Each structure stands twice: as structure tokens, then as C-alpha cells.
């Protein structure tokens, strides 16, 4: 007997269970909404399963592998260091599984209904959820779209066993002897650095005149210095042309300064950006507006041009950051619940887990001046910090951006160890409307990297203790 597809009534439907979707679902449930979340893949999305988390696990393992070779300057020498890469991958998998199972527990604990399948919108209040066997229609009052993004594939570099996207690079069975990375953005540079730490001979081909677009030149220089030290080669203004694959490797051709060159490797990793997953989900059926890149247009409350449908994360304008998606997801959930919430990106940090790490929040000095601020940049080096020296990791600096008239903190850039953690203090300072004096008067424990923030604030006040 065939059962008819009778629509099931829902309150709030969240499409996509990545760091934007699952956070939005939980926040909406906390605010009293009855929430259903649907995803065709694993809970946690790209970030938890094949992005942020596994890449950081691999980066950490790479750091440990590099450190295991000892340091003559510190009087530490080692012999016969070996890496069982299958065990590295097994450990990485355990980290991922612990977090994805945790997301499932959190959703269930907040009474969020979980569906598995692909979503296709029929109209502004109706969607079909399809799996391999069935299709079920759902009627919803409100919807949050959080379908994320996918790696961009270059026509001349079709993904295969040897031509990898970031997911493929994270799941290699062995450490490559040689790897070419096309695209020197944060993903390519992070993974290139990680494999360089494992001993891979890495070549990064970047089409523009510098890697790590979006970060200041002085910050990138610190990373490039480290890459060179690891034996990695960075070739800028290089246009990747094509790849020849064999059973054992690849030959990548590229053009630089009008001359064609080739480089042999075991694998080529293509990281030239990501595209929003907004095709083939029926947006046109609803009349949801997108731009020429496929990004959904939203207002300050994450709302699309259709008043009961919201969009967050990689499918809207801005950097494809997991924490941005989570933030927008909370805003959308709160707006649906009747709260007066709206997006404010000024305290949104941007981080690259390179070696050393890079982090930025608020305005750069240039951006502040363009925005009409009479801004001051106050710099303090890691080399003048006791903890950085004792870690034998003292390359880099913090640059604090303040408003000259009253010392209001409006931004910061950090290049150095633990920059990803340190930037949160400046984010808080910006959100709370704090001044350089507020930071300088906050006692920071000694010896810690956190003292660098205090010292940079003292530079801004003109009363530095540990720098001239």
C-alpha cells in the first residue's frame, strides 16, 4: 500500500547541521521554538568532519613531529624519529568522532528533531526532504538556511586520487615526499605548513603577488620566513596551467613571468576558494535573491528578501568562518523568537593556523583611517616577551589599533604563537568599548604571552616598560 505524502507541520526548520546550523537550532530551541534540523551529511558539517577540526588535529601532529627532531640550540637531540601516519589519522578520526557525537547529544538534549536528507524548497513555507528511498513534504513557519560551501574545482585540475581538495589532503594514507599546493590562502598555507612539518617537500603556487590575502604584509612575512625555514617554496604570481597524472604522481605546469615551468610531486592540493551551496535547493522556487556568486542576500538580522526565511554562514557575504556562521545563527534564532538582535561584525576575528599563527580583529591601521578614524598603531614584539623566549618561539608581534583622541581600542593584528587565543581579549575590548588604559591597568600574569597585549596597550599610552 502506498502512503500519501501528507505534509508534516514544523515550527522552525534549519537546513544544514554545520557550525552555523546546529548552533542556530540549539539557540532557537533554548528560546522556546520547536526545531527540526536536516542535513544530507554528518552532523557538524564540513567544519567538524573535514575542515576546521581535522585540519587543526593534523597541524598539531605536524608540530609534534617537527619538535620530535629536537633542537640543538636547546641542547636536545634525537635519533630515528618516525611517524606512523595511519595512527595520526586514527587519532584525528577520534577527535572528530568525539565532537560530532557531542553535537548529536546537544541537539537531542535541546529536543531538536534530526532528519537526514537533501532539502528542496517548494515555496516560502514548504520544503521536501529526500533521501535515497523516500521524499517527505514539510510545512514550516520559519526557516534558517545554513548549507555551507564546497571547494572550487579548476577545470584543468579535476579532483582525483592525485588532485586533491582539502578533504582529500586531510585523509591521505601516507606522508607525501612532495606536494604542490595551488592557492596560498589560509587553507593552502595551513595544510602546506602541516605537511612541511612532517617532512614533505612543499611548493605553494599563488596567483597573486603574495600569500594569505586579507592579512597585512608584515604578518605574512613572518609566516613566509618560517615556510622557508621548513624548506617549503612559495612562488607568487604563478598561474597554474594543468596537471599530468601518472600512477605514482603528478606533474604540474604553471606560468610565472611569462615562462612556463613544471614541478613534479606525489599529489597536488587545490585550494583556490570555496563556492556557496545554494544551487539545486529550490531557491528560485521561493524567489530568494542571490548575487552573481550565488551568495544569498541578507539584512542586518540574517533575513533574506523572504521575511520568514533566514540565511547564515558561507552562503552569505563575508569570510567563510565557522565562528561567523555560529554568530549569525544565534542572531537568526533570536530574531525569529522576537528578540531585537542584529549583526555587528566589528568584533569578528579572522585567524590563520599557520606557523606562526595569524589573527586579526576589528580595524587594521589602514582600514581605520579609511573609515575616518584618527588612528594610532602600537606595536610590541614577541621577542621582548619572556614566555615567547622560553618557548623558543619569538617571531612575530602584536599591533594594537586605537583611536588617538581617547585610546578606544578599535582593532588588533597578531602574528605569533597562540595568536588565535590571544585575539579574543581584543575582541572583548572592542565589544565592551574599552580603552588602551583599561587593558594596561589589567594585571596580566607573568610570564605569559598575554602580557604582550598589556605591553602593546602601554605602548599606545606612551608608557612602555619593556620596549623603547
Any idea which residues carry the catalytic annotation?
446
- Taking alpha carbons only, the member of 299, 335, 336, 332 closest to residue 317 is 299
Contact 333, 21 (CB under 8 A): no
- DSSP secondary structure letter of residue 6: P
Buried b (16+ CB within 10 A) or exposed e, 412-423: bbbbbbbbbebb
- What does the alpha-carbon distance between residue 8 and residue 273 come to, in Å, rounded to a whole number? 38
* Residues in the chain, total: 468
Grid cell 544544514 in the structure block, residue: 16
Crossing angle of helices 52-68 and 186-197, in 10° steps, is: 30
- Taking alpha carbons only, the member of 459, 396, 417 closest to residue 218 is 396
Buried b (16+ CB within 10 A) or exposed e, 329-365: bbbbbbbbbeeebebeeebbbbbbbbbbbbbbbbbbb
- What does the alpha-carbon distance between residue 96 and residue 143 come to, in Å, rounded to a whole number? 28
Grid cell 502512503 in the structure block, residue: 3
- What does the alpha-carbon distance between residue 234 and residue 388 come to, in Å, rounded to a whole number? 27
Amino acid at each position: 500500500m502506498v502512503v500519501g505524502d501528507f505534509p508534516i507541520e514544523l515550527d522552525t526548520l534549519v537546513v544544514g547541521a554545520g557550525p552555523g546550523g546546529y548552533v542556530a537550532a540549539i539557540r532557537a530551541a533554548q528560546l522556546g521554538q520547536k526545531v527540526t534540523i536536516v542535513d544530507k551529511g554528518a552532523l557538524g558539517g564540513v567544519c567538524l568532519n573535514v575542515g576546521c577540526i581535522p585540519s587543526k588535529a593534523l597541524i598539531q601532529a605536524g608540530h609534534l613531529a617537527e619538535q620530535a627532531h629536537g633542537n640543538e640550540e636547546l641542547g636536545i637531540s634525537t635519533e630515528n624519529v618516525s611517524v606512523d601516519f595511519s595512527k595520526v589519522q586514527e587519532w584525528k578520526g577520534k577527535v572528530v568522532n568525539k565532537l560530532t557525537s557531542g553535537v548529536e547529544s546537544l541537539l537531542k538534549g535541546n529536543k531538536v528533531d534530526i532528519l537526514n536528507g537533501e532539502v528542496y524548497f517548494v515555496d516560502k513555507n514548504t520544503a521536501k526532504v529526500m533521501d535515497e528511498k523516500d521524499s517527505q513534504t514539510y510545512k514550516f513557519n520559519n526557516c534558517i538556511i545554513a548549507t555551507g560551501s564546497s571547494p572550487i574545482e579548476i577545470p584543468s585540475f579535476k579532483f582525483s586520487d592525485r588532485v586533491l581538495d582539502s578533504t582529500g589532503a586531510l585523509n591521505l594514507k601516507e606522508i607525501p615526499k612532495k606536494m604542490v599546493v595551488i592557492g596560498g590562502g589560509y587553507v593552502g598555507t595551513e595544510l602546506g605548513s602541516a605537511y612541511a612539518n612532517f617532512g614533505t617537500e612543499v611548493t605553494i603556487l599563488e596567483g597573486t603577488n603574495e600569500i594569505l590575502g586579507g592579512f597585512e604584509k608584515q604578518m605574512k612575512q613572518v609566516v613566509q620566513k618560517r615556510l622557508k625555514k621548513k624548506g617549503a617554496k612559495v612562488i607568487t604570481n604563478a598561474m597554474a596551467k594543468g596537471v599530468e597524472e601518472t600512477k605514482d604522481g603528478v606533474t604540474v605546469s604553471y606560468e610565472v613571468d611569462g615562462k612556463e615551468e613544471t614541478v613534479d610531486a606525489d599529489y597536488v592540493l587545490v585550494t583556490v576558494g570555496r563556492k556557496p551551496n545554494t544551487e539545486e535547493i529550490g531557491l528560485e522556487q521561493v524567489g530568494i535573491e542571490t548575487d552573481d556568486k550565488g551568495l544569498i542576500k541578507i539584512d542586518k538580522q540574517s533575513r533574506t528578501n523572504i521575511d520568514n526565511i533566514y540565511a547564515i554562514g558561507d552562503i552569505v557575504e563575508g569570510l567563510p568562518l565557522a565562528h561567523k556562521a555560529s554568530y549569525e545563527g544565534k542572531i537568526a534564532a533570536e530574531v525569529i523568537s522576537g528578540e531585537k538582535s542584529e549583526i555587528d561584525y566589528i568584533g569578528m576575528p579572522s585567524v590563520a593556523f599557520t606557523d606562526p599563527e595569524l589573527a586579526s580583529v576589528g580595524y587594521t591601521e589602514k582600514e581605520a583611517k579609511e573609515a575616518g578614524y584618527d588612528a594610532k598603531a602600537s606595536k610590541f614584539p614577541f621577542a621582548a616577551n619572556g614566555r615567547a623566549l622560553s618557548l623558543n618561539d619569538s617571531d612575530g608581534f602584536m599591533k594594537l589599533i586605537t583611536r588617538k583622541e581617547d585610546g578606544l581600542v578599535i582593532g588588533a593584528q597578531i602574528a605569533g604563537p597562540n595568536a588565535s587565543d590571544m585575539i579574543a581579549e581584543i575582541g572583548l575590548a572592542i565589544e565592551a568599548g574599552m580603552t588602551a588604559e583599561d587593558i594596561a591597568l589589567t594585571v596580566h600574569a607573568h610570564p605569559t604571552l598575554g602580557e604582550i597585549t598589556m605591553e602593546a596597550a602601554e605602548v599606545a599610552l606612551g608608557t612602555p616598560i619593556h620596549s623603547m
